[in-house]
Every structure is written in C-alpha cells, then in structure tokens.
Amino acid sequence: MTKISVVRSVLKANDAVAEVNRKRLEAAGILVLNITSAPGSGKTALLERTIPALAPGLRSAVVVGDLQTTRDAERLGGLAVEVAQINTEGGCHLQATQVADALDTLALKDLDLLFIENVGNMVCPASYDLGEHLRVVLLSVPEGPDKVAKYPTIFQPADVILINKMDLAGLLEFSDEIVRADLARINTRAPLFKVSARTGEGLEAWYDWLRVQHRARFGS
C-alpha cells in the first residue's frame, strides 16, 4: 500500500474556466453579474424591468439557468434581448463550463452587461464561480425576514442585496429590521435595495448602482 500526498483543488477545473470567462468578457467590456436567490423571488421579473430601463445606454443579455423548461428565456425573449437558456436537467447550480458554452451563442461585441440568472437555490451556487464580476442576491418579502441568517454563505460574498416584492410588505407585515440586523454581522459592504419588480418601486437606486459599477470598471 502506498500513500500519495497531493494538493489538488477539486473545484479547480470550474475555477479555471470561470477565470477564462471573466477575461473574455472583460476584454469585450462587459460587466457580468451572477444573480442568485431562492426559487420564485423574482429574478426574472427584476430583469424584465431592469433591462429595458437601462437601454440603450447599457445593452444587456441574459444567461438563464433552470432545471427544466425554457419559460424564463421566453419571458426575457419578449424584451428583444439575447437570451441563452441552460437546462441543468437536475443540476442545482450553474457551472462555469455551461456559461462558457452559452457565451458562444451571444453576440458579445454588442453588449455592456451580462446577467447570469442562476438556478433558484441559496446553497449550491455559492460554491461555483462562473466568471462574474459581481454577485447579486435577491430575497423577497413572502419568504420572511430570516433568509440572511439561514443562508449566510450566499449573503456573505454578495456585492449587492435586493429585497423584492416590497409592495407586499404591508399585507405581510414584513419589516426589514431582522434582515438588517443579520447583515450587520454577515455583510455590511453590500448595499441593500428595497424594490418591487412588479410596481417598479425602489428600482432607480438599483439602476444607478449598475450604471456606477459599469462605469467604475469600463469608464464612460
């Protein structure tokens, strides 16, 4: 019996592809955002609002991951933007290779922003770098105020956090006090925006943040 000692990163294959994705998109002047949330928090609805609001100043495309169906891609396709749908067929998160394949189908030279809508899941996507510049995490009012405390590993690396469906806050007696208190010990860096993708409430601050992030990285 022989014991072989090694140091090999198990996720190195993914991380290497993620780095290639990042370089490729950076060279094209595209800011990449990896959006994660629980299923049904409103990732697609947020993009349906955001993408037209930023155009034509910032031109967007979407890579969207789901276990099954092309329904999100069909919704977003209505915006006349390029959408690449990935079906993970049971996989609980996107991986960098899937994004790399999706990039081949997009006209990168005509883009400023790429939104990667991850599979709805607050655990697994935390471990997979896709080549993004920034991580967006969404929670929504009907989910209750405990998401940050329950899923710290997704909120800790977040660059921006949105509470969606604020139009329901009164009805559901939702208060963001607990969210803020939990973030105070998990992530004080990410700005917190309270929005409603349905009514449009609060979205200007999110749009401004996106414009600032793009300008900070790529100028003008």
Q: Which residues bind another protein (CB under 8 A)?
A: 1-11, 13-14, 91-93, 95, 123-124, 126-128, 149, 152-153, 156-157, 183-189
138 DSSP β-pair partners: 37, 162
In angstroms, what is the minimal distance from the CB of 117 to another protein?
Answer: 18
In angstroms, what is the minimal distance from the CB of 122 to another protein?
Answer: 10
In angstroms, what is the minimal distance from the CB of 154 to another protein?
Answer: 9
Q: Dump the DSSP string for 69-124.
A: -SHHHHHHHTTT-EEEEEE-TT-SS--HHHHHHHHTTS-GGG-SEEEEE--S-SSG
How far separated are the first and last CA of the chain, in Å rounded? Answer: 62
Q: Nearer Cβ to another protein, position 89 or 173?
A: 89
Q: Nearer Cβ to another protein, position 102 or 106?
A: 102
168: helix, strand or coil? helix
Q: Nearer Cβ to another protein, position 189 or 215?
A: 189
In angstroms, what is the minimal distance from the CB of 151 to another protein?
Answer: 9
CA atoms of 59 and 56, how far apart (whole Å): 6
Q: Nearer Cβ to another protein, position 42 or 145?
A: 145
Residue with tokens 């990039």: 103
Indicate the length of the chain as a whole number. 220
Q: Nearer Cβ to another protein, position 83 or 183?
A: 183
AA identity, residue 129: D
Phi, psi of 200, rounded to the nearest 5 degrees: 95, -5
In angstroms, what is the minimal distance from the CB of 20 to another protein?
Answer: 17
